[in-house]
Structure formats: structure tokens, C-alpha cells
Amino acid sequence: MRARAFAIGATSSGAGKTILTLGILAALVRRGLRVQPFKCGPDFIDPSLHQVVTGVSSYNLDLRMMGPEQCRSLFFEKAETVDVVVLEGVMGLFDGGPASTAELAKLLGLPVYLVIDARSCAESAAAVLKGFETFDGDLHVAGAIFNRIGSDRHRELIERSVLQHCRTPVIGWMPRDDVFHLAQRHLGLHMGEEQSLDEEGVARFVTVVEQRLAVERLLVPVALPEMEQPKGQPASARKRRLVKIGVAEDRAFCFYYRQNFELLEKMGFALVPFSPLQDRGLPSDLAMLYFGGGYPELYGAQLAANQSFRAAVRRLFDHGLPIYGECGGFMYLCRQLIDHQGQHHDMVGIFPFATVMGRRLRRLGYRDVTLTRTALFGRTGDRLYGHEFHYSDLDDAGAGQEVVVDGWETCYRLDNNSLEGYTVGAALGSYVHLHFANTPEALDHLRQQLVG
């Protein structure tokens, strides 16, 4: 398969990789090309920004959570009908070891264009490029983009050093200019649906990208590795009677992997959106409620004030309806949320904990989950894969114990030997964001739990 496809990596986080990716995506769209964006790693925010710029869903590719074959399968499936495929990397190019941008680019056969922040250096920037182009002989670093160039003299110093010491061509010199700015907060950039991208600013930035970056150099066709097509259709994906799952979707609950939704739909689930911020009640005939992650801490007062909705959730729980909450969704299902200002907000109250926002990151990293007993997504001993990233924690000193306390117990044992996955009745809550690409049988089990 020959396609125009490439990855955008960086020397480190904060080098300007996301902003440059958005500018490149916008420039490609402006040329009338059909673009399919991807994001390396367990990020929820960057894919939402990709979607705003391109108008199509962006997908995560994560070697740790999904595994190599699932990453390849999704990549080729979505790349088949577009003109250009763009993969935005995560952190520095080699950060994350076996789950790094470099390893993913090698798996997919993608050339990498490296973003280098030249703000506080000159000739030394060439030494950085030299190190990255020689660090892994199996990786194709196809070009360099020097970001935050302060002047023509600054550029000349770097360019002379690069020509003398490096083999990688420079395809872009981006100025040190705040023409395009993305607001940030404790979990990173603002989500795309929050209109964090100013259209006028994007247009100006695209103009700068076209002037300072050789976009046409990115569009050279590359030979991608052959992908064996799946043989037949698995039984779990055949058409079945639709089962409705209610999904919380608004500004407070917006962290979902797009592929998880598609896997649910292939399993015969119909996803019915609702808003804990705006709705007064829930849709009818639901088999389960799904509260994803997001920013409940920013909307604590509004969520608490919507008492009729919280009561509706509680009534369904009391009648035995399965309910699943991840991270922010789990926080909403707890007794109380204590925000950054120390304000206490009453939540649904299914789990007897208060969640307390901290100033520092409490947990960050991949999580391999082993079920210690049968639950919504599997039986005792089954494995699940996910990621944690949160600033809040439980205030209950008993959290993490294996025994039943106040009607709750745990069903997850994580690979760091801690206990997680809190259950009360038919409800399951956890700080771990699960990805189901590598464990589709978990969704088959879910369906059996819901419909028998």
C-alpha cells in the first residue's frame, strides 16, 4: 500500500508539536485533501482538537493498551479511503519505550518529521537533531522543523550547524510568535468542543505554516507494510438486537476513546447521549449508564444543582440498573466532590466516598487490570488494559482494601499490586480509563451481563 502518511514527533513535550500538527492539518484541509488524523498514546484532548480542524474523528493508537496488531488494523482501516494520514506523537519521540511514537512509527512504516524547540539555543540545536537522527537506525527521521526561531540571525546559526553536522533536511523554520495560542489547565489543553480554537487565529497560523514550512515535502507517498485482512466476521460483531446504553456527553464528561464507541456499536449496542449538566431526566429503555471521564470538578456546583437528574440516576441504581463510571464519571457517582477551592458539592451518592481535588497529579500511567471477581467487563482472572491520569483522590481511609466496607468492594488488581475498581450493587466505578481494542471479549461479556 502506497499512501501519503507521516508522523509528527518532537524532542520533548512542550516543543510545539500539537500546535504545529493542527496547523499542518488545517493547511492540508485547505488544499481540499481528505485527512485522517491519529494520536499516539492515551490522550483525549488532542484528538478533539484534530476533529475540530479536519471535521473527522481522530483515533488513538496506543501500543501498550491496544497491542501492535490492533494498532495496525485500526490504522489501515481508517487510512483506506483518505488522501493523507497524519499521526501526532506523544511527549518526546522516544519517550514511553515500547509505547513511544518512534516504535509506533516503525510498526506502521511512517516517516517522522521532528519538531525541535530552538527557543533557548542556536548551534546546539543541530546537536539535538544529530542525536535524534542517529539514536535508532531503524527509524526514518525524514525532516526537521525548528520551532520558535527568534530572528534571521538565529536561523542562520542553526542552519549552518545543521548543514555541517546533520543529514536530515530541514523542512520548516517556525517563528517565535504567539499568533496561535491554546489555553491550558490542570489536565492539559482545552477540549476542541469547547471552541478553544479561534477560527481567525487558525487561519493566520495556516498562513504562517504555508510560508515557513514546506508542506509539499510532507506529501511524498510512502510504502506502508502490507496488512493482512481479517478473515470473516467474528460472531460477536454480527448484527444483533440493539441494546441501549446511555452515555454522558457534555463539557463535564467528554473523555472517551472513539474506537471504544465503535466497538460497542459493532457489538450491537446503541449509544444514547445525555447530559448530567443540562438534562432533568434520563432517556427510557436503557440497559446501562456510562459516565466517562472529563471535568466534573469544573462544574461541581452545576452538577450538584441538577438534583432531579441526580435523583433519576439514583432511582435507576436502586432498581438494579448497571452503571459504569470512569475517572470523572466515577467522581460524579460518589457521595461528594470537593473542588480546588475546597467547596463541597453533593453528587449521586452511589459510592460512599468523597473525591478531593489536589494541586498535584495523583496518578499517571498505564494500568494492566486483573479482575479479582466477575464484574461488568469480565470474569475472575480476565485482563483489561487502560490508563490513569487524575488530580483527585478518595478521602476514605478504607479505599483499596479487599474486604467489603459500607456495601462496596474492589474487583480490580492493578499491575502495581494495588486494588481498584469499586463496586456497589450493579455499579462499577474506577479511576482507570479502559480501552477495549485488545479485549473485545470484555464487551461480549458486558452484553451477556445486560441481556443474558
Pair (197, 250) in one structural domain: no
Nearest to 431 by CA among 299, 330, 288, 294: 330
Based on the domain organization, do 57 and 165 belong to the same domain?
Answer: yes
CA distances, 25 to each of 58, 209, 303 (Å): 12, 10, 35
Q: What is the pLDDT of residue 358?
A: 87
How confident is the model at residue 149, as a pLDDT? 96
User: Could you tell me if 47 and 77 lie in one domain?
Assistant: yes
For the chain, the average pLDDT equals 90
- At residue 223, the pLDDT reads 81
User: What pLDDT sits at residue 192?
Assistant: 47
pLDDT digits 0-9 by tens, 36-77: 999 999 999 999 999 999 999 999 999 999 999 999 999 999
- The whole-model pTM stands at 0.91
**How far apart are the C-alpha atoms of 155 and 164, rounded to whole Å?**
14
Q: How many Å separate Cα 137 from the centre of its chain? A: 29
- Reply yes or no on whether the pLDDT at 294 is more than 60: yes
> By residue range, what is the domain housing residue 141?
2-223
The Cα–Cα gap between 73 and 308 comes to 44
Q: Is there a single domain that holds both residue 264 and residue 344?
A: yes
82 pLDDT band (50/70/90 cuts)?
very high
228, part of any domain: no
The residue count for the chain = 452
What is the Cα–Cα distance from 216 to 228, expressed in whole angstroms? 30
Q: Which of 179, 194, 223 is the last residue of a domain?
A: 223
Instruction: For strands 35-40 and 59-61, give the pairing.
Output: parallel
Domain shared by 252 and 212, yes or no? no
Is residue 37 within 8 Å of residue 6, measured between CB atoms?
A: no
pLDDT at residue 233, rounded to an integer: 44
Asked if residue 170 and residue 52 are part of one domain, the reply reads yes
* Distance (Å, whole) CA 420 – CA 412: 5
Residue 21 has pLDDT above 90, yes or no: yes
Same domain? For 219 and 251 the reply is no
Rounded to whole angstroms, the Cα distance separating 388 from 296 reads 16
In-domain check, residue 330: yes
Query: 406 or 217, which is more confident?
Result: 217
Residue 377 to residue 383: CA distance in whole angstroms? 9
Q: Which of 322, 191, 347 is nearest to 254 (CA)?
A: 191
> The CATH number of the domain where 365 resides is what?
3.40.50.880
Cα dist from 121 to 118, 149, 174, 316, 388, whole Å: 5, 10, 15, 60, 35
With respect to residue 230, please indicate whether it lies within any of the assigned structural domains: no
**pLDDT for the residue 225:** 76
- Element (H or E) spanning 86, and its range? strand 84-88
Q: What are the tens digits of pLDDT across the range 226-252? A: 766 544 444 444 567 899 999 999 999
CATH number of the domain that 83 lies in?
A: 3.40.50.300
Strand partners, 2: 223
* Domain assignment present for 281: yes
User: How does pLDDT run across 89-140, given as a tens digit for each residue?
Assistant: 999 999 999 999 999 999 999 999 999 999 999 999 999 999 999 999 999 9
Q: For 375-396, how does the pLDDT look when each residue is reduced to its tens digit (9 = 90+)?
A: 999 999 999 999 999 889 898 5
Residues 205, 251 within the same domain:
no
* 201: pLDDT strictly greater than 90: no
Catalytic entry in 166, 254, 327, 411: 327
The verdict on residue 184 lying in a domain is yes
Residue 385 lies in a domain: yes
- Whether 332 maps to a domain, the answer reads yes
pLDDT at 398: 41
Residues 259 and 145 in one domain: no
The candidate with the shortest Cα–Cα distance to 212, out of 8, 23, 26, 409, is 23
pLDDT at 188: 44
Three-state SS string across 105-127, please?
A: HHHHCCCEEEEEECCCCCCHHHH
pLDDT digits (tens, 9 = 90+) for 148-189: 999 999 999 999 999 999 999 999 999 987 555 555 544 444
Domain boundary among 189, 223, 257: 223
Rounded to 5°, the CA angle 84-87-92 comes to: 150
* Stretch (H or E) spanning 161: helix 152-165
Distance CA 306, CA 290 (A): 18
Give the C-alpha distances (Å, rounded to integers) separating 233 from 25, 78, 155, 362: 34, 18, 55, 42
Query: pLDDT > 70: what percent of the chain?
Result: 89
User: Do residues 115 and 8 make contact, with C-beta atoms less than 8 angstroms apart?
Assistant: yes
The yes-or-no verdict on residue 336 having pLDDT over 90 is: yes
Same domain, 280 and 406: yes
Q: What percent of the chain has pLDDT over 90?
A: 80
In a domain, 93, yes or no: yes
Pair 261, 145 in one domain: no
| In a shared domain, residues 152 and 17 | yes
pLDDT of residue 382: 98
For residue 197, give the DSSP letter: S
User: Would strands 392-394 and 351-357 be described as parallel, antiparallel, or unpaired?
Assistant: antiparallel
- Look up 40 and say whether it is catalytic: no
Q: Which of 167, 189, 223 is the last residue of a domain?
A: 223
Report pLDDT digits (tens) over 243-286.
999 999 999 999 999 999 999 999 999 999 999 999 999 999 99
**Contact call for residues 71 and 85 (beta carbons, < 8 A):** no
How high is the pLDDT of residue 364? 86
d(CA 192, CA 33): 21
For the chain, how many structural domains are there in total?
2
